[in-house]
Chain A
């Protein structure tokens, strides 16, 4: 690995981290404004034009909050939990291609950090690490509401991970690769996998909301019954870190969903004009994020037994059946079965 490659990796990592942190800040503004509009309110509009400086003000406020650690808490784990919630979320975005290759300073630079042949497994693995932030927070706080929140989170994420993995598997079988770059390339010419795999898309859509613990699956932090669930005892920047983890996970999982089902950065003339590809990717990403917010403003929270019922008795069998049908179709395609007819 030459110096230039090393510099490229460092620069890309810094750009991704910067973009995710900025995205997180403006996601809070976006969510508050959109929900306000959906509920016939105005939302934050005082700090800066249209309230655009509100995230900055919130950040400053949270920095200066008193940082309280409960006396009976397990101190080391209490401090570790918010970090465990944020780091996997940031790492997950490394595999998402945000555009075609660009030529800069005479170098061809692909617009993704890592093209691994196990990218999607890496993504699912990081997703399962994310639950530890919640579980550790719930346990270390030494608070029964927090513990209940942690318990709910672990049960929920295990239940929905399986269906998500199987939904991803259907797409992987069609594309013949676990790499998101290959999967986006397989969707060239408008053959988006949402058209070939509508069932997998719906399953992924439901499970991605459950995995990010967003409404209507926000039982780990159900405020009416658990105060604030796993982050009841957290304040100041540590409290903010949990939100950072949640919002960045939303952005990363939306990026993966766009690449899996909506053709990633692909669109008219994106190959000739790379900046268009980035723009297409961004527009699709925002569409998913809007969907997250829209759901939160629309649907009431699921009851816990309904949540388990949906995960194990509806989504899992459905995704298994989808995998079987897809496998048959792929075999038929590869052996020229349809050609014989």
Chain B
């Protein structure tokens, strides 16, 4: 195995293992920590693919902001945080099982159907990746980009309205 393959296997094992840890732990806090490890593994995969910019942004946004907020919310709600002996399943588990398997089969079908492009031997790594990404956002993909921005703005205003004192 080349060094790249070793790093890939390590990152993949960390990502999948942490995902498993996240769904099997009983503590919400520990689950959130496993999720951070998943984000880290995905960031490593991005960097391995030559998309260092996306990898760092993954760390900055998901680990540095979103996960901190999740931990913050968990720490503020002791009822969620406490009781490690809470039952693992509740009444709704059959429904959730059906939904989860439906989503999983959809994803598997999509992954199998997609024609994954393979890099040629000795293909150049992506240079100016961030530049291309930025240009894409401002030209080809400007509509989805702006729609997502407006959606975030709406969420922001909604949060302020909810939190505002009468």
A155 at the interface (CB under 8 A from B): yes
Segment 189-231 of A: residues with Cβ below 8 Å from B: none
**In the complex, which of the residues A122, A132, A150, A158 contacts B69, with contact meaning CB atoms closer than 8 Å?**
A158
Mask, A280-320, CB within 8 Å of B = 1, is 00000000000000000000000000000000000000000
In the complex, the chain A residue whose C-beta lies closest to that of B74 is: A139
**In the complex, which of the residues B53, B69, B71 contacts A121, with contact meaning CB atoms closer than 8 Å?**
B53
Report chain A residues within 8 Å CB of B65.
128, 158, 161
**In the complex, which of the residues A118, A131, A138, A139 contacts B130, with contact meaning CB atoms closer than 8 Å?**
A118
B21 at the interface (CB under 8 A from A): no
Contact assessment for A150 and B60 in the assembled complex, using a CB-CB cutoff below 8 Å: no
Contact assessment for A129 and B64 in the assembled complex, using a CB-CB cutoff below 8 Å: yes
Contact assessment for B60 and A151 in the assembled complex, using a CB-CB cutoff below 8 Å: no
Q: Is the interface of B mostly helix, strand, loop or mixed?
A: helix
Mask, B69-90, CB within 8 Å of A = 1, is 1011001100000000000000
Contact assessment for A128 and B64 in the assembled complex, using a CB-CB cutoff below 8 Å: yes
In the complex, the chain B residue whose C-beta lies closest to that of A127 is: B64
Report chain B residues within 8 Å CB of A129.
59, 63-64
Given known pairs A117-B130, A121-B53, A139-B29, the reply for A128 and B72 (CB within 8 Å) is: no
Q: Give the distance to chain A from B36, nearest Cβ to Cβ, in Å.
A: 8
A-B contact count (CB 8 A): 61
Q: Give the distance to chain B from A312, nearest Cβ to Cβ, in Å.
A: 11
CA distance A136 to B75 in the complex (A): 11
CA distance A122 to B53 in the complex (A): 9
Q: Give the distance to chain B from A115, nearest Cβ to Cβ, in Å.
A: 13
Report chain B residues within 8 Å CB of A127.
64
A181 at the interface (CB under 8 A from B): no
A260 at the interface (CB under 8 A from B): no
Contact assessment for A151 and B59 in the assembled complex, using a CB-CB cutoff below 8 Å: no
Q: Give the distance to chain B from A165, nearest Cβ to Cβ, in Å.
A: 8
Contact assessment for B64 and A121 in the assembled complex, using a CB-CB cutoff below 8 Å: no
Mask, A104-136, CB within 8 Å of B = 1, is 000000000000111001101101110110011
CA distance A266 to B59 in the complex (A): 32
A244 at the interface (CB under 8 A from B): no
In the complex, the chain A residue whose C-beta lies closest to that of B52 is: A118
Report chain B residues within 8 Å CB of A117.
52, 130
Report chain B residues within 8 Å CB of A154.
68-69, 71-72, 75
Number of interface residues of B (CB under 8 A): 19
Q: Give the distance to chain A from B52, nearest Cβ to Cβ, in Å.
A: 6
B56 at the interface (CB under 8 A from A): yes
**In the complex, which of the residues B57, B76, B130 contacts A151, with contact meaning CB atoms closer than 8 Å?**
B76
Contact assessment for B68 and A128 in the assembled complex, using a CB-CB cutoff below 8 Å: yes
Contact assessment for B56 and A121 in the assembled complex, using a CB-CB cutoff below 8 Å: yes
**In the complex, which of the residues B57, B60, B68 contacts A135, with contact meaning CB atoms closer than 8 Å?**
B68
A157 at the interface (CB under 8 A from B): yes
CA distance A136 to B56 in the complex (A): 22
Max chain B Cβ within 10 angstroms of own Cβ: one of A131, A132, A150, A157: A132
In the complex, the chain B residue whose C-beta lies closest to that of A120 is: B56
CA distance A124 to B107 in the complex (A): 34
CA distance A313 to B52 in the complex (A): 33
Segment 142-164 of A: residues with Cβ below 8 Å from B: 147, 150-151, 154-155, 157-158, 161
Q: Give the distance to chain A from B16, nearest Cβ to Cβ, in Å.
A: 20
CA distance A229 to B29 in the complex (A): 20
In the complex, the chain A residue whose C-beta lies closest to that of B127 is: A117
**In the complex, which of the residues A116, A121, A150, A155 contacts B57, with contact meaning CB atoms closer than 8 Å?**
A121
In the complex, the chain B residue whose C-beta lies closest to that of A138 is: B75
CA distance A132 to B67 in the complex (A): 10
CA distance A135 to B73 in the complex (A): 12
Q: Can you name 17 A-B pairs with beta carbons within 8 Å? A: A118-B53, A118-B56, A121-B60, A127-B64, A128-B64, A128-B65, A128-B68, A131-B64, A139-B29, A150-B75, A154-B68, A154-B69, A154-B71, A154-B72, A158-B65, A158-B72, A161-B64
Q: Told that A132-B68, A139-B75, A158-B69 touch, could you supply 13 new A-B pairs with CB distance under 8 A? A: A117-B52, A118-B52, A125-B60, A125-B64, A129-B64, A131-B64, A132-B36, A135-B71, A139-B71, A151-B72, A158-B68, A158-B72, A161-B64
Q: Which 5 A-B pairs have the closest CB atoms?
A: A128-B64, A125-B59, A121-B56, A125-B60, A154-B72
Chain A residues proximal to chain B, CB less than 8 Å: 77, 116-118, 121-122, 124-125, 127-129, 131-132, 135-136, 138-139, 147, 150-151, 154-155, 157-158, 161, 178
